[in-house]
Amino acid sequence: MMKSDASAGPPSPLDSARSYGRAGSSMQDFASQNPCTWCDGCGDYGIWTAARSALVDLHIWPWQVLLCYDVGCHGNMSDKIGGYRFHGLHGRVLPLAAGAALANPTIPVIAFGGDGASFSEGVGHLVHAVRSNYRFTFVMHNNANYGLTTGQASALTWQDQKMNSSPNGIPETTLNSMDFIFSLQPTFVARGWSGDIAQMSKILQAAIRHRGFAYVDMLQACPTYNKFATHEWLMQHCYDAATEGHDPKNFEKARALAVDTQNRVATGILYQTEDVPAFHERLKPREGVTTTSVQEVKIVDTSRWLKAFE
Amino acid sequence: MTRVSLKIVGAQGQGVNSVGEMCAKGLKRSGYCVFGYREYMSLIKGGHSSYQLDVSGEDVRSSAMHVDIVVTFNHHGIEKNLRDLRKGGILLHQTPQWKFKNADDQAFIKEQGIRVIELPTDAILKKLKAKSILGNVLITAVVWSLLGQPEEQLHELVREQFGHKKDLLDLNFACIAEGFAACKVIAPGTTLSLPRPDPKWKNHMLLTGSQAMGLGIIHAGCRVYAGYPMTPSSPLLTFIADMQNETGMAVKQAEDEITAAQMMVGAMHMGTRAVTATSGGGFDLMTETLSLTGITETPAVFILAQRPGPGTALPTWTAQGDLLLAVGAGHGEFARLVMAVSDAQDCFDLMPEAFNFAEEFQIPVIVLTDKQTAEALFTQPAFDQTRAKLKRGSLVTDPRELSQLKSIDRYDPAAPDGVSKRWLPGSEAATFCAQGDEHGPDGSVIEDAENARRQMEKRLKKMAALKAALPEPLYVGPKNPETLIVSWGSNRGIILDVLESEPLAKRSIGYLHYQYLWPLKTESFEMLSRTAKRTIFVECNHGGQLSSLLKLASGRDVTQKILKFDGRPFFYEELRDGLLSAPQS
């Protein structure tokens, strides 16, 4: 373990990218030979494109990033893109990414998951990922239903929508995901929508640069199963909050803006603070440490600790 | 081996553990081998608990059923633990004017020649104007006097603890003096003679299995620990967390066991060494993640600290009921290693092995321990720091080699023994997907039949190579024993102790001890068991789980079993008599 003076600060996820001498990466570097298998008009195409474009714009090479996928339609991106990837279990992408980010904070980690996984199966992880403020980006593919299992209702499905397995609409109340997220004191909250690739790319770049946990709600069209928040609906309702002078430093205003989707849906970076250290920065034993735990694997002589047991 | 057994009993929170630990340390420094065993209930204050020390000049690795002295903090212990005493034993209590009302108790005391001694703790502490907590030192002093041990030794121990506070230190010294003086009054001529000491024990350590395992984990180069509290894995979490400022390890108390397991896997994938630990119920929650590592071929280390089940059952007691769980946990078929520690030495030595096997074969490794190993106190020589080697298998880190890698090398089905190249995020190389779906060589999702068959064969091919790489189980005894004992885990210590006892020491008995439990090596077992007149399995579970596995792996059906499944480990007299009375054929 290498220690430097504390003022040097923890390593940044983008250090490796910056130190890389060659010209930047291109979209071609992130290309895959595998054909996409999403439905015509699926929002995943847009998010997929925005993710690659954000990485290229940040001059990150495929070997410099870890992309973690949950299970769902979005998870089928795992073999349609370049980069180191991990396609894990349903509902568990957040702790997987958290462990990876903790082990090596110099590699940008992006986790992708759906609203089904994030607000039902793995909702506990979401709570603790926000409060832990791990340094990674979470792209929440929000199509308000379980697409890959053929259109069941999620906790974010609107009321009175007939869904597979809910022929009468859902008996539960729809969860207000943004109110929930803001109640957890997040440090980065953004919202994009799958039709605006340029904006999504910009949001993702800011998220990847963010000091801690970046929550990105990506509203996405699901032409096959979501008949309520369609591409047209999203196009009509979404607007860029920055164009109306929204200040992402104002927590209360950001929360109100994010929660109120009755008439219009605000997009862009809704809230961000860099005043809160990320999880790994708050670990006392890691203060001033310039190596990552990946570099520290070696047989450790424990003699110095044995005396205490005599 | 001659042993003296001390049992300290009382309500939880009364000081049972601190008196036990103080006595253990003092006795070890006097040249004794000490084995400590704790019993306590799943509550914080009030439940009846005990700390038993078995003391000998020779190696002692087990607890006797009957003890030479019971020291009790409250009146419950007087009646509850009276029958724990052997003939001529001493009952040291602190309840003023205690009278046995029960005729059976009176008869027992008379017949067995039990000496009942009352220490007027309250009166002495009042005289010294000392708080009740100092009763711990007072009663330790009485025990010390009964054992014929020098006063100075206790001074040394309290000086270590309170040396920085002079007032408190003086009061402690006063308590020690009063304890020695009181002993002459309340127990004139009563002594409890210890066997001959051996100075070799003085430089040994006294530590629990959890502490030894924590040191083993640190030794192995593990840099990330994610856990969720659950007895009996919690003392490991506590130890690792308490050491973090020294070790620089990243320690996370996760929101649940699923998180702990996933964080471990994420950290391992990134390329560090990480571990998680839990008990049965928590392990159940981790099993989907275990299965995931089977298909993504991510090295993983799970520690499963056993306690009795099913359900919550007996949270603070011991068992070996999760062997078949470890072997069968997780959906689907995949390669894995299941191993078990048995004592402090194993806890330290086997942790680097667990990480090495996980990385060399890119498999999940489950390390079984149990409450008995996790919380027992062992007298242990300093750990050898030179034996363990860092083995990371086919991990590629060399830049030249990295630049030549192709994505399809990651899950190459033609890789020897099914172990393909592994490289880490951040390495300048072709990238791949660690894929939880069935996949082709680069991690692309492929559902065709031929690929599925080849990848399954690739992954399971590792089992043969792994089995070949594992050592044979440990064997002690004659070449062709008449009786073969087979066991695993924490039973090892007591089996070795019992086999040294008369008349078993004179018989032709061998002991085959399994550290590596799946895949199972059967060569030694088959050879020894075929010529032995009888083979006896000793296990702390209801079904004889190792015997079932060995039957599965070797085809040999051995029916004699000595099993215990009441939350307690085997005790010395109990196992000795069990072996003596086992059927002769």
Q: B440 and B556 share a domain? A: no
- In sequence order, the β-bridge partners of residue B539 are B563
CA A283 to chain B, closest CA, distance in angstroms equals 7
Q: By percentage, how much of chain A surpasses pLDDT 90?
A: 92
pLDDT bracket for residue A22 (50, 70, 90): low
Instruction: Tell me which of B37-46, B271-280, B455-464 is least confident.
Output: B37-46
Q: B367 and B465 share a domain? A: no
pLDDT bracket for residue A20 (50, 70, 90): very low
Could you tell me the residue range of the domain that residue B488 belongs to?
A: 474-580
Which of chain B's residues have a Cβ under 8 Å away from the Cβ of A294? 223, 270-272, 424, 426
Q: Which domains does chain A have, with CATH numbers?
A: 11-309 (3.40.50.970)
Which of chain A's residues have a Cβ under 8 Å away from the Cβ of B296? 86, 88
- On whether any CB of chain A is under 8 Å from the CB of B205, the answer is yes
Mean pLDDT of the region A156-177: 96
Q: B505 and B418 share a domain? A: no
Decide which of B203, B219, B244 is a domain's last residue.
B203
pLDDT bracket for residue A19 (50, 70, 90): very low
Kindly report the CA angle at B313 between B309 and B318, in degrees rounded to 5? 65
**CA A294, A296, A298, A302: dihedral to nearest 10 degrees?**
-140
Partner residue facing A299 (CB), from B207, B265, B388: B388
Residue from B272, B289, B389, B422 to probe the interface with A (highest A Cβ count within 10 Å): B272
Q: B530 and B409 share a domain? A: no
Q: Quote the pLDDT of residue B15.
A: 87
Q: Tally the domains of chain B.
A: 4
Q: B447 and B482 share a domain? A: no
CA B562 to chain A, closest CA, distance in angstroms equals 35
Per-residue tokens: B244: 């973090």
Q: B509 and B405 share a domain? A: no
CA A180 to chain B, closest CA, distance in angstroms equals 18
Mean pLDDT of the region B214-236: 98
Check which CATH number belongs to the domain holding B339 and give it.
Answer: 3.40.50.970
- On whether any CB of chain B is under 8 Å from the CB of A12, the answer is no
Determine, yes or no, domain membership for B323.
Answer: yes
Partner residue facing B265 (CB), from A99, A294, A305: A99
Q: Are the Cβ atoms of B271 and A104 closer than 8 angstroms?
A: yes
Determine, yes or no, domain membership for B448.
Answer: yes
Burial zone of B496 (CB within 10 Å; 0-12 exposed, 13-18 middle, 19+ buried): middle
Check which CATH number belongs to the domain holding B150 and give it.
Answer: 3.40.920.10
Q: B372 and B441 share a domain? A: no
Q: B184 and B58 share a domain? A: yes
Determine, yes or no, domain membership for B387.
Answer: no
Cβ–Cβ < 8 Å for A163, A136? no
Determine, yes or no, domain membership for B56.
Answer: yes
Read off the pLDDT of residues B301-341 as tens digits, 9 standing for 90 and up: 999 999 999 999 999 999 999 999 999 999 999 999 999 99
To the question of pTM greater than 0.95 for the whole model, the response is yes
CA A230 to chain B, closest CA, distance in angstroms equals 29
Q: B48 and B186 share a domain? A: yes
CA A84 to chain B, closest CA, distance in angstroms equals 5
Q: Are the Cβ atoms of B258 and A293 closer than 8 angstroms?
A: no
Mean pLDDT of the region A272-291: 96
β B300-306/B364-370 pair status: parallel
CA A95 to chain B, closest CA, distance in angstroms equals 5
A8 has a pLDDT exceeding 50: no
Determine, yes or no, domain membership for B137.
Answer: yes
Determine, yes or no, domain membership for B390.
Answer: no
Q: How is B534-570 classified by DSSP, letter by letter?
A: EEEEEESSSS-HHHHHHHHHH-----EEEE--SSSPP
Determine, yes or no, domain membership for B249.
Answer: yes
Q: B465 and B572 share a domain? A: no
Cβ–Cβ < 8 Å for B34, B194? no
Burial code of B389-409, b = ≥16 C-beta within 10 A, e = fewer? eeebebbbeeeeebeebebbb
- On whether any CB of chain B is under 8 Å from the CB of A98, the answer is yes
Partner residue facing B262 (CB), from A65, A71, A95: A95
CA distance B13 to B21: 14
Partner residue facing A306 (CB), from B205, B267, B433: B205
Q: B434 and B327 share a domain? A: no
Q: Quote the pLDDT of residue B1.
A: 80
Tell me, what's the ipTM?
0.96
Q: B113 and B255 share a domain? A: no
Q: Quote the pLDDT of residue B529.
A: 96
Determine, yes or no, domain membership for B234.
Answer: yes
Decide which of B469, B498, B518 is a domain's last residue.
B469
Q: Are the Cβ atoms of A298 and B439 closer than 8 angstroms?
A: no
Mean pLDDT of the region A161-176: 96
Q: Are the Cβ atoms of A97 and B426 closer than 8 angstroms?
A: no
